Structure 1
């Protein structure tokens, strides 16, 4: 085998492992969400596969002619890669929690084997090319470098190009077929039958195309689908991964189905003067609040920061969004804020999520300072936070906002505040006193079960919670997630 051929083989195999690893987070998202813990579990499990595969490949290569192994390894690697999405779809619904154990187990079931098999190729190629012990370091080092380069290309190609342009399953099918064809080529050269490989490809390819996941659309950030409300002909529910993110009534934008959305509306009603206001929404989703405010407060200027341009398309085609009614900036909120003028908004609404948690960089003191600069003196910031159990996250978010704003409060059902249940908490911050009695009356009028606490009650609730900063914001680890 020529040096060029050997390097191309190692480059391709290493790239395939990282393509599969990058796709794994997307395939798993509908079942275990997207969080730092998800990425940690996937990376760690695939690295374990790489380690085991490298060790096994080296041992097998020492037991005979290593070139005999290339065909079977490529074929098995392609078949196991093609099987991974079907495995996720079949076992995913059984994983009702997003704890570290669940993440590692489901990742191992679907992706450990292809990572292990394909990682055996590198030591096999090294054995083939190793002609003398005198150049061991050069051979091993060069192929390690080539493999790393392939992994980098596979990561960048998948993350920056493939996921943004092609659905996940066709990508898996393509990489699996390429791996199998490579193995078939090596097998034919050695006179082996490839009937099994062909049958396996047809069976797994058919399953891959017919056993589909829950996604109607795969955006760059989420698995999305829209469901009709069986109790309301004009009602639509937007699901992102495993959570209901938005409810839209196509005929009446003033219908607010979710309790926390009614809390948003109640806070705006209680803290803003009547009439049109200037509102910045961080996170668009189904664009429920911008449409509600445009309807109930004609003339309101809505600016929406939504990082996922595919959601804008879904909201337009499926949820009746009229983009001419608002200004939509498709960019990460943290960077987009830099281009917005100071003292320009009466209300900022925070409702951006990655899985069940707010992206960590949108929870810190530094981000709150950016928001404060964009708010007018009488403006208010309201933020949706999901938390359960010990409520470490919502308490830290409140402690964070107290570092920046004069007045801070939280609205939630009494059992949430007591820690006996959990869900959506609406955090309120500004520089004007918060009249909790008036706000509670407004929330009651909005048919919300929430009550508002501030001042001494809030201090007791926050207790010794630590503020979040750009240097310390372990949001994914702080939130206690429910069992779905």
Structure 2
């Protein structure tokens, strides 16, 4: 009877080809997981060169999705033309070799040919991502034997692939990144993919490229040892290095993702090297009586330069620090002398959540110095976040924040406007051209320091402190600050396009 049976879709039964349902599920699960591992680790590799911005994340996600779409489409098309048993092994093996070579290729390109970094970065995601995504249609083709089971097979393998992608995401984000260097993750993944390629070929026969690809994985491992851009420590969020002074002093610079974040003189915590730190210290010195102990909260740790300074100049001060990256805290303890610093407590937590845990009116001082690359995390910039800062400050309390911006200063203007919505008094410290006090010069951008309080601070005394510390910075407030802020938008939890407002930044200039 016509229609009583379905015509065959494949000429041979996969079980006889050495690829049963369990093996098929393993291949789809593993290849899908590997795509997400590559995507997440690519963000880590690119952070020192492109920053941890929304644009960078969007770029990497977009390229990964393109690779998945292209690989799935092309893999399905080729599977209809060529026996899939001849394709799975090469797809796994070549992607494994590409993944293993990625760390050295990307870091070398960033240092020696930065103009083509985006192209090379795209290829290091596209090539293995497309090859790995093609594995699912290859396996699906092999598992289909009749139209009657099409829905079951496709649905099952699609579900397995999704679970694999989830597993790869969770494993990388919660386990691997915090325990294994980025280069180690990719080298290990590359080796696993080449091993998987050899295993598939052993099951299906017909291809002998695994030894050559194994040599490429080994070459990738050797290349990582000589490639530039290495880290002393790879934390959950940063590629971190500590650079010691070469002049015989005990000064050390904390470098995160290629940017100088903090300078610490372990022997002399009152030695403040960076201008923005001297500006913050000047404001605090003026705002509170000399030597008076404070209860302070710090958003972001860096090298804990300000908490150390307060402990040294205001004995009895208690500084509580919210730092999201436990690796940075470990560096402070192991390499920057934190263990010997009384009065400084650090919590590994998100800064916004840390604020919520503080009692109302419990702090004299809040210092904002949290950064992802050169960007303040957006949720620490909004009207709602500033309302929480104001809540934890007492009536005489002061909020001091470090900002970085360039060009038109759109982000800095928006943040100053946001603070003006929350506090009665706001002042801005920075280079004269950057804060609108030198109309003859073009703003160069860099660090700015903003002060906010519900009581006035003696800004003339702050200016004198800035002059004594030879910063070259000026203070602007009131009628001078209003035109600089202009019609800048307020940042809110509902709309805070911080990464879009920030102007282009050159890593060579440092912080």
**TM-score, normalization by structure 2:** 0.90
> Which residue of structure 1 lines up, in the alignment, with residue 460 of structure 2?
437
Q: Which moved more, 1:329-338 or 1:200-209?
A: 200-209
CA distance in 1, matches of 2:395, 2:96: 60
> Which residue of structure 2 lines up, in the alignment, with residue 124 of structure 1?
138
TM-aligned CA deviation for residue 96 of structure 1: 5.9
CA distance in 1, matches of 2:220, 2:267: 44
Q: Secondary structure at the match of 1:414?
A: coil
Equivalent runs, 1:146-225 vs 2, <5 Å: 146-189=160-203, 190-193=205-208, 194-211=210-227, 213-225=229-241
TM-aligned CA deviation for residue 209 of structure 1: 4.6
Task: Kindly indicate whether the alpha-carbon contact (under 8 Å) linking 1:41 and 1:107 is maintained by their aligned counterparts in 2.
Answer: no
In the alignment, does 2:262 pair up with 1:246?
yes
> Which residue of structure 2 lines up, in the alignment, with residue 279 of structure 1?
296
Q: Unpaired runs of 5+ in structure 1?
A: none
TM-aligned CA deviation for residue 171 of structure 1: 1.5
Q: Structure 1, residues 69-100: CA drift from partner, whole Å, max 9, x if none?
A: 11111111111111111111111125769xxx
Classify 1:36/1:225 alpha carbon distance in 2 versus 1 (closer, same or farther; 3 Å). Answer: same
> Which residue of structure 2 lines up, in the alignment, with residue 452 of structure 1?
475
Task: Kindly indicate whether the alpha-carbon contact (under 8 Å) linking 2:110 and 2:117 is maintained by their aligned counterparts in 1.
Answer: no
Q: Which moved more, 1:21-30 or 1:373-382?
A: 21-30
Q: Secondary structure at the match of 1:403?
A: helix
> Which residue of structure 2 lines up, in the alignment, with residue 348 of structure 1?
366
> Which residue of structure 1 lines up, in the alignment, with residue 25 of structure 2?
7
Aligned-CA RMSD value? 1.7
Q: Which moved more, 1:132-141 or 1:218-227?
A: 132-141
> Which residue of structure 1 lines up, in the alignment, with residue 123 of structure 2?
109
Task: Kindly indicate whether the alpha-carbon contact (under 8 Å) linking 1:18 and 1:151 is maintained by their aligned counterparts in 2.
Answer: yes
Task: Kindly indicate whether the alpha-carbon contact (under 8 Å) linking 1:399 and 1:462 is maintained by their aligned counterparts in 2.
Answer: yes
CA distance in 2, matches of 1:103, 1:382: 37
Classify 1:320/1:270 alpha carbon distance in 2 versus 1 (closer, same or farther; 3 Å). Answer: same
> Which residue of structure 1 lines up, in the alignment, with residue 426 of structure 2?
408
CA distance in 1, matches of 2:246, 2:120: 32
Q: Secondary structure at the match of 1:437?
A: helix
**TM-score, normalization by structure 1:** 0.95
Q: Structure 1, residues 321-356: CA drift from partner, whole Å, max 9, x if none?
A: 235431212111111122211111111111010000
Q: Which moved more, 1:58-67 or 1:371-380?
A: 58-67
In the alignment, does 2:323 pair up with 1:306?
yes
Task: Kindly indicate whether the alpha-carbon contact (under 8 Å) linking 1:42 and 1:104 is maintained by their aligned counterparts in 2.
Answer: no
CA distance in 1, matches of 2:53, 2:156: 35
TM-aligned CA deviation for residue 212 of structure 1: 5.9
CA distance in 1, matches of 2:281, 2:272: 9
In the alignment, does 2:445 pair up with 1:427?
no
CA distance in 2, matches of 1:182, 1:54: 19
Q: Structure 1, residues 393-426: CA drift from partner, whole Å, max 9, x if none?
A: 0000011111110001110010222452100010
Task: Kindly indicate whether the alpha-carbon contact (under 8 Å) linking 1:31 and 1:95 is maintained by their aligned counterparts in 2.
Answer: no
Task: Kindly indicate whether the alpha-carbon contact (under 8 Å) linking 2:96 and 2:190 is maintained by their aligned counterparts in 1.
Answer: yes
Classify 1:339/1:103 alpha carbon distance in 2 versus 1 (closer, same or farther; 3 Å). Answer: farther
Task: Kindly indicate whether the alpha-carbon contact (under 8 Å) linking 1:169 and 1:209 is maintained by their aligned counterparts in 2.
Answer: no
TM-aligned CA deviation for residue 289 of structure 1: 0.5
CA distance in 2, matches of 1:364, 1:176: 42
Q: Secondary structure at the match of 1:155?
A: helix
> Which residue of structure 1 lines up, in the alignment, with residue 85 of structure 2?
67
Larger Rg: 2
Classify 1:77/1:388 alpha carbon distance in 2 versus 1 (closer, same or farther; 3 Å). Answer: same
Classify 1:28/1:368 alpha carbon distance in 2 versus 1 (closer, same or farther; 3 Å). Answer: same
TM-aligned CA deviation for residue 232 of structure 1: 5.4
Q: Which moved more, 1:374-383 or 1:210-219?
A: 210-219
TM-aligned CA deviation for residue 210 of structure 1: 4.5
Classify 1:247/1:369 alpha carbon distance in 2 versus 1 (closer, same or farther; 3 Å). Answer: same
In the alignment, does 2:161 pair up with 1:143?
no
In the alignment, does 2:107 pair up with 1:89?
yes
Task: Kindly indicate whether the alpha-carbon contact (under 8 Å) linking 1:7 and 1:143 is maintained by their aligned counterparts in 2.
Answer: yes
Q: Secondary structure at the match of 2:372?
A: coil
CA distance in 2, matches of 1:200, 1:278: 56
> Which residue of structure 1 lines up, in the alignment, with residue 4 of structure 2?
none
